Structure 1
């Protein structure tokens, strides 16, 4: 990627960064940070327990699957793709995990198998996207339906209980140093995702593919392999989220994760990752995910109708897409 880097360096020397350039580089993170503070202030004033320690820890524990999957979704969307199947993968691994544990398999082995199942699903979808050239929207939309159907077929639509006396349930219920274990798992995943995305060649390749895949390919990068790996990571982390959810609820259900993919996409796009690819931010993703979780929790504490949550989430997605198109896409055309 020598040529693009040199070009960017030359451009920066020829033209000093203006205030508008700085806004385009960091404005999305700043705006979601302000919006997050607004949401927190709003619900802290309109509800009694929103900022209580118990509720804050509960939000962190419940939002762990969202934070985990949003890490991978940031990579996917930065490449210019999308993964609509993450909710179905979560449901499949949650249900299959409960079935295998109920059948007597060691829970540690089951966890490894579920991560492999998620990776396999991601590899299959990534193959069609990267090597067959089928749009990721079509591939993962089909995956959403097929994978959810497999989960329903295996469970018959019923929840499968997980024994509460095995160590596996600690994955979703344990506490370490006063913090819920799911939140610590999510923090570890986000830290690895942040370092990978910002400090490694792989992260730069992901961004380059979204910005100009042909230029990256001509620089000698295996763009197909990178794209495939991004979807493998997405499937694997969706499977991890399914394990955490199953452990917390003490059961696996084929109905888990309904609409989950919308929450993940809302979190990532709201955080400033461009739907057109080429620009992503892990910090923004964290703030976006916490904002989505805070809105859902705040609406419940405010005793409003639960049907308002998808309405608000959908509105957030629409506004985020509009901002992406009007501000960042327009700026890219001018440059």
Structure 2
């Protein structure tokens, strides 16, 4: 009887390790990065620097949470950087023309939802590959942003409430970090505790099977791109609020950071599996690597190389090292 109990306990442990292997791997990697840069730079672990990392990571985290849902449906959104830039520029133009920041914020969130909904419609109802649709969107949306700004930065003036969203603090914590944390918590709850979250997982695992059991599979796919558009709008607004201007050149390379954070956090590019907690850790890891390299006086252009390497290594780790799970206590 006792040996049976021991085997049962072991199987539960192995099952837990299998379910959380990717999150455990990114947690260890995150801790290793913190220790590495903390040992090499005296200013890295200071409160001021860490709060600055959180402020700068907030827009990436917001979009990465939404991207987790997109990738869980076996999709991809390459247009997130261009959407951020378009919303960033439109918000600045609206406020420069006398609109208050509150109606501007609402309008931009609606605009982001429409952009995401349009892309989702082409993907889910017209059967065009997500890669193609969002690649086209990346070019179109950035082009529109360039056209309406003529390539210039648009300054934002006399909007203290808006600037507080990007520069303010609450209890010493940057407001963008608080907003991003709330967004991540909401994403976690939706994924783990709602029917919608379970449907996203089901659609990502097998869209046709989900459709045959009565799920509105196409609408679910469409909705995750709408969520991505809203997240991009919020991120674009926070960047404009922090910098005090809007520009068509905002968020260049943003999609690379977002996808790297999501994949590094253990979300499968094949769909059906993902983790908001892993995405949070992946985002923070990408941010501290960039920050640490700057503090070590390494060329900022090297960050792009490191990000690309991280994506490749993360995919390799997920498929080769952790994809098969832990074999302890299992019989062939």
Instruction: Determine if contact 1:88/1:257 at 8 Å carries over to the other structure.
Output: yes
Question: Separation in 2 of the partners of 1:265 and 1:289?
Answer: 9
Say whether 1:316 aligns with 2:310.
Answer: yes
Q: How many pairs were matched up?
A: 317
Say whether 1:202 aligns with 2:196.
Answer: yes
Question: Separation in 2 of the partners of 1:19 and 1:315?
Answer: 32
Instruction: Determine if contact 2:22/2:318 at 8 Å carries over to the other structure.
Output: no
Q: Which runs of 5+ in 2 are unaligned?
A: 1-9, 326-332
Root mean square deviation, CA, Å = 1.6
Which residue number corresponds to residue 218 of structure 1? 212
Which residue number corresponds to residue 7 of structure 1? none
Scaled by the length of structure 1, the TM-score of the pair is 0.92
Question: Separation in 2 of the partners of 1:323 and 1:91?
Answer: 32
Shift, 1:165, TM fit: 4.7
SS at match of 2:77: coil
Which residue number corresponds to residue 330 of structure 2? none
Shift, 1:180, TM fit: 0.7
Which residue number corresponds to residue 4 of structure 2? none
Q: Which runs of 4+ in 1 moved over 4 A?
A: 16-21, 327-331
Which residue number corresponds to residue 162 of structure 1? 156
Deviations for 1:196-255, whole angstroms, at most 9, x for unmatched residues? Answer: 011001001111111111221122110011111110000000010000000000000100
Question: Separation in 1 of the partners of 2:110 and 2:296?
Answer: 41
SS at match of 2:74: coil
Which residue number corresponds to residue 91 of structure 2? 97
Instruction: Describe how 1:260-279 pairs up with structure 2 within 5 A.
Output: 260-279=254-273
Shift, 1:24, TM fit: 3.1
Shift, 1:22, TM fit: 3.8
Question: Separation in 2 of the partners of 1:253 and 1:294?
Answer: 25
Which residue number corresponds to residue 70 of structure 1? 64
Instruction: Determine if contact 1:275/1:324 at 8 Å carries over to the other structure.
Output: no
Instruction: Describe how 1:60-139 pairs up with structure 2 within 5 A.
Output: 60-139=54-133
Scaled by the length of structure 2, the TM-score of the pair is 0.92
Which residue number corresponds to residue 290 of structure 2? 296
Instruction: Determine if contact 1:97/1:114 at 8 Å carries over to the other structure.
Output: yes
Q: Which runs of 5+ in 1 are unaligned?
A: 1-15
Instruction: Determine if contact 2:63/2:231 at 8 Å carries over to the other structure.
Output: yes
Shift, 1:326, TM fit: 2.9
Question: Separation in 1 of the partners of 2:309 and 2:271?
Answer: 21
